Chains A and B, each alone.
Chain A
Amino acid sequence: MGPLAPNEIISENTNFLLAFFIGIAFGWVLESSGFSSSRKLAGIFYGYDAVVLKVFFTAAITAMLGLLFMSAFGWIDLTLVYVNPTYLTSAIVGGVVMGAGFIMGGFCPGTSFCGAAIGKIDAMVFIGGLFIGVYGFAFTYGWWEKLYLARYLGEPKISDKLGLSDGLFGLFMILVALGMFVVAEWAEKKFPREEY
């Protein structure tokens, strides 16, 4: 019965070792999908490359369906799976800051490591920026502490907030995502760019 580590079916060290392998798979898929290229990543915001949208939402849906099906078969205990907590204010403000960072830098932490791994200097510089940013936050934490801790709502699930069952919300998300994919493909045809 999963998840394995919280149920102590595997030891902590095994968990860390597997983390390494999961990371390899993660990095491989990201790079193979083109996430090591900042121009591909930024493409979604200008219409010419929707790889971010397609990969991101397909992945989220695949994992979500996988978890729900596994739970239905009794293979995983979802209460032991980490659900990100919701601190309303910092979730929004942090997201806004990250959005600005994304459009300026063309990377996010995970993809920047992929880019750096294949030799992209802009990715390496981005990573340098990440360290500065994290340190800066820790250093000035006192200024943000109130904001950081504001409006803690626990770990609500979207489905609960909307009053839907998890499965029903999943279906809804699938339909929305597919709709977005259709629009994205249209945009890619309309604003083509050569390969980069």
Chain B
Amino acid sequence: MKQLKLLALIIIPLGIIIAAMPADKVNHSRLTPGELLQEAGSGVQFISPDIVADMLVRKDPSLRLIDVRTPEEFETYSLPGSINVPLSNLLSEEFSDILNQDAYTNVFYSNGSVYANQAWMITRQLGYENNFVLEGGLNYWFGNILSPESPSQTSPDEEFARYDFRKSAAAALGGGGVVSTDAASPSPKAVKPPVTAKSKKKPSGGC
């Protein structure tokens, strides 16, 4: 009995302390600068506009477009169904549930990709997942999705396929709107990095 009392004396207070501690929400493993640099460099944050267009056309419920420009720009034009989280307010409490979650696929966009990329960097550093950057931003979107270039006669088949897809997507999504370019944003050529679901090292174990 003596040892039992001693044991109880130790673990009950420990239990009370641990019970009183606030629980963390979702996943909170901040990245080290090195990790962030590596991820940013590999381009995993980019999501191809074709994929986004496809999700929009299919009305995929997991897609959530986030416009990181100013409210005025958002008013002027925004992608269908998108919400406005201005970059300057990114870290405000009201948006933390939107940015730190694992139900939706968030896609940041801005006119080019600089601001969207910044938003991604900041949230990624905090350990948030499921956030992506629309490749090429609105500029590329207008130039290539909504008004796709028709391929020349000698282009490979997949270019034709892509052109057809974009034409029908454009029709479904409505025509273009007012565009303004921000400072340093070249619209990148159609380089499509694979959008792989971010699979962190999944814990493994067994019997």
A interface with B by C-beta (< 8 Å):
1, 6-8, 58, 61-62, 65, 68-69, 71-72, 77, 79-84, 165-168, 170-171, 174-175, 178, 181-182, 185
Contact = CB atoms under 8 A, between A and B. Distances in A.
Interface stretch (B16-24, B49-57, B65-73, B155-163): B16-24
Given A79-B200, A178-B11, 20 more contacts: A58-B7, A62-B11, A65-B15, A65-B18, A68-B18, A72-B18, A72-B21, A79-B27, A82-B203, A82-B205, A167-B15, A167-B19, A167-B20, A170-B18, A171-B19, A174-B11, A175-B12, A175-B15, A178-B4, A178-B7
B154 interface: no
B29 interface: yes
26 contacts: A1-B29, A6-B201, A61-B11, A65-B14, A65-B18, A68-B18, A69-B14, A69-B18, A71-B24, A77-B29, A79-B29, A79-B203, A82-B204, A82-B205, A84-B205, A165-B19, A166-B18, A167-B20, A168-B19, A170-B15, A170-B19, A175-B15, A178-B4, A178-B7, A178-B8, A185-B1
A69 B19 CA distance: 10
A7 B68 CA distance: 33
A1 B78 CA distance: 42
B23 A171 contact: no
Contacts of A1: 29
Given A58-B7, A65-B11, A178-B12, A167 B205 contact: no
Interface of B: 1, 4, 7-8, 11-12, 14-16, 18-21, 23-24, 27, 29, 200-201, 203-205
Contacts of A81: 203
Contacts of B7: 58, 178, 181
A83 B203 contact: yes
Contact of A80 (B11, B18, B203): B203
Contacts of B8: 178
A171 B24 CA distance: 17
A185 B4 contact: yes
A182 B4 contact: yes
B14 to A, nearest CB: 5
Contacts of B4: 178, 181-182, 185
Contacts of A82: 203-205
Contacts of B27: 79
Contacts of A62: 11
User: Which 4 residue pairs of A and B lie closest in terms of their CB atoms, listed nearest first?
Assistant: A82-B205, A171-B15, A167-B18, A171-B19
B145 to A, nearest CB: 36
Nearest to A174: B15
Nearest to A178: B8
Contacts of A72: 18, 21
